[in-house]
């Protein structure tokens, strides 16, 4: 089946703008880079850049993202949010991915703070948000989503122990088009809700697998340890240190401790 079967995506899409303009590559370095060029050239909000394969897929913290052809979803959404809504993109994106997975497969998807999507003890999707701001104004924001749909994770030794795919969990193939259509629907709905100031963090919070657990958080300048006590409406993590003090963390790399 060639990817994407656009009519299958479009026939199931209920969005007003998201995915209505679609730029597709069978192979590309990174959809983030193409999306950046599109955004800088004035692409309308809601444009999406989709690829079957990435040869230089990027993850957070300078890591690479395994992006073999014929199996997964690699997509970047071009958005032009307010600064207020920009802060909530790392809530909206993993929540939309989790809801799409559940709708199409019945699998329960959890979120590892801030925005990794896990099934059981393994990561099934990752999100990379890159934004361009000028004088406190958001020019554009690029929400990159990599979702392992039909990948044989065992074939990639570097991630075999920590990653999973929908097919691996279900034991059958899943349509990438169906998952993508649901993902875009949920994303647009939540993005608009965030724009109206609705508390989108509540449903995200319910799915967080870190709350109440001891964690280690890697920050650019230090490592924090403590219990992940709660999150706030902007998605920040409230960490209770061993000495009883509470620290608010905006972004970091969380490891669950035993």
> Using DSSP, how many helices (H) and how many strands (E) does the chain show?
7, 12
Q: Residue 105's closest CA among 54, 171, 46?
A: 171
Is 63 a residue that touches ligand BTN (CB under 6 A)?
Answer: yes
Nearer to ligand BTN, 128 or 181 (CB): 128
Pair 111, 208: CB distance under 8 Å: yes
Site for ligand BTN in 20-59 (CB under 6 A): 30-32, 54, 57-59
Nearer Cβ to ligand BTN (135/158): 158
**Closest CB 63 distance from ligand BTN, rounded Å:** 6
Give which of 25, 29, 26 is closest to 55, Cα–Cα: 29
The residue number with the shortest CB distance to ligand BTN is 126
Edge-first strand order for the sheet with 237-240 is 246-249, 237-240, 223-231, 214-218, 253-256
In angstroms, give the least distance from the CB of 146 to ligand BTN. 3
Closest CB to ligand BTN among 13 and 125?
125
Nearer to ligand BTN, 193 or 250 (CB): 250
Structure tokens at 58: 């990027």
Residues in the chain: 258
Residues that bind ligand BTN in the complex, under the rule CB under 6 A: 30-32, 54, 57-60, 63, 65, 74-76, 116, 126-128, 144-146
């Amino acid at each position: 089946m060639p990817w994407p079967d656009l009519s299958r995506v479009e026939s199931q899409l209920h969005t007003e703008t998201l995915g209505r303009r679609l730029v597709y590559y069978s192979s590309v370095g990174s959809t983030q880079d193409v999306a950046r060029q599109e955004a800088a050239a004035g692409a309308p909000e809601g444009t999406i850049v989709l690829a079957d394969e990435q040869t230089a897929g990027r993850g957070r913290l300078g890591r690479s993202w395994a992006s073999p052809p014929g199996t997964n979803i690699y997509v970047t959404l071009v958005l032009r949010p307010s600064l207020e809504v920009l802060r909530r993109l790392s809530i909206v994106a993993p929540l939309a991915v989790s809801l799409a997975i559940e709708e199409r497969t019945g699998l329960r998807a959890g979120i590892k703070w801030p925005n990794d999507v896990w099934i059981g003890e393994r990561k099934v999707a990752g999100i990379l948000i890159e934004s361009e701001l000028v004088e406190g104004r958001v020019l554009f924001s690029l929400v990159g989503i990599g979702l392992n749909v039909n990948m044989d994770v065992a074939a990639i030794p570097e991630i075999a122990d920590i990653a999973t795919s929908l097919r691996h969990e279900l034991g059958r193939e899943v349509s990438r088009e169906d998952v993508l259509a649901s993902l875009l629907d949920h994303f647009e709905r939540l993005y608009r809700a965030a724009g109206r100031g609705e508390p989108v963090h509540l449903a995200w919070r319910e799915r967080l697998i870190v709350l109440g657990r001891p964690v280690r958080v890697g920050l650019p300048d230090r490592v924090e340890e403590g219990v992940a006590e709660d999150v706030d409406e902007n998605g920040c993590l409230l960490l209770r240190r061993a000495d009883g003090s509470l620290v608010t963390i905006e972004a970091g790399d969380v490891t669950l401790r035993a």
